[in-house]
Amino acid sequence: MEHVVLLDEDGRSIGRRDKTSVHTDSTPLHLAFSCYVFDTAGRFLVTRRAAGKNTWPAIWTNSVCGHPAHGERLVEAVRRRAGFELGLPLDDVRLVLPRFRYRAELLGIVENEMCPVLRATTSHEPAPNPDEVDACRWVAWPAFVAEARAGTSGLSPWARLQVELLDALGPDPAGWPAADPAELPPAARW
Q: Which residues are catalytic?
A: 65, 113
Alpha-carbon dihedral of residues 159, 94, 165, 189, nearest 10 degrees?
90
Please name the amino acid found at residue 79: R
d(CA 6, CA 14) in angstroms, rounded, equals 6
Cβ neighbours of 12 (radius 10 Å): 12
Q: Across the chain, how many H-helices and E-strands are there?
A: 4, 12
3-state secondary structure of 137: strand
Query: Which CA distances in Å does 34 have to 9, 108?
Result: 20, 22
Query: Under a CB-based contact definition with an 8 Å cutoff, are residues 98 and 184 in contact?
Result: yes
